[in-house]
Amino acid sequence: MCDQAKAEEYLTFAHDIYEDSPLPVGCEKLYENVTEGMPDRFVVYKTLDGRAVFTFKGTTSQREWLSDAEMWLVPNTLGKGHVHRGFLEVYESMRPQLTDVWRQVVDEDLKVVATGHSLGAGLATLFAYEYAPRCESLYLFGAPAVTADKIFSDDLDCTGIEICNIQNNLDPVCKFAPLTDYYPVGQVFHTNISWSEALEDVCCGLREFNMLYFHQTHVYKELLRNGTVLMPK
């Protein structure tokens, strides 16, 4: 099962990377790359109980949208299977920096976790694949359905790391896949909000009427904070 308390904590980091927000008690930033407009922004947080959480940012710039659009599958240069071309290209550009940061901040006492939202979920997946089993957990939020194929996903599962692929069941990014070769990464858990609830909130002015609204991190945070139970898909 997915640890909902950890999911809420990691989602706080995934949201903070877009806009500074209060961190859980005892957490600090071990590393932050804040190059504006670049697709390689990530932050490493340290939790109170000794976890290094590598957190990857989702799409914010035009350059990143172009990377998102390169959604055809290409051979995985990190190992087995095929993965999203745009995600792999962005990740490959980050690898030297990630290696340097790993050496700077990770010691044998730290447990390593990877997390991210949207494009960041795709990058976190590739990071976890490369660094497993030293990376022990992977928590994804709003992961695009076009991240990888079954061979890649099965090989990642074989590493034995904990994988929680958390999706808002109304999030179109988690559902759109123009080809049939894509396969979800890890165990998928979804929130149980219904269209009738969502439309009622829109009519009451509590939500925007926007298809990508349900993809945003603050909506994921709201659902988890309000006690929405994560259900296996």
Q: Say what the pLDDT of residue 233 is.
A: 64
Q: Say what the pLDDT of residue 206 is.
A: 54
Q: Within a 10 A sphere around the Cβ of 20, how many other Cβ atoms?
A: 8
- Residue 65 amino acid letter: W
Structural domain boundaries, residue 137 = 4-232
Instruction: Provide block-wise average pLDDT over 10 residues at a time, the chain (233 residues).
Output: 88 87 88 62 92 87 53 91 92 92 92 95 96 96 90 96 90 78 87 62 55 79 71 68
d(CA 88, CA 79): 12
Q: What's this model's pTM, rounded to 2 decimal places?
A: 0.88
Number of domains composing the chain: 1
CATH number of the domain within which 64 lies: 3.40.50.1820
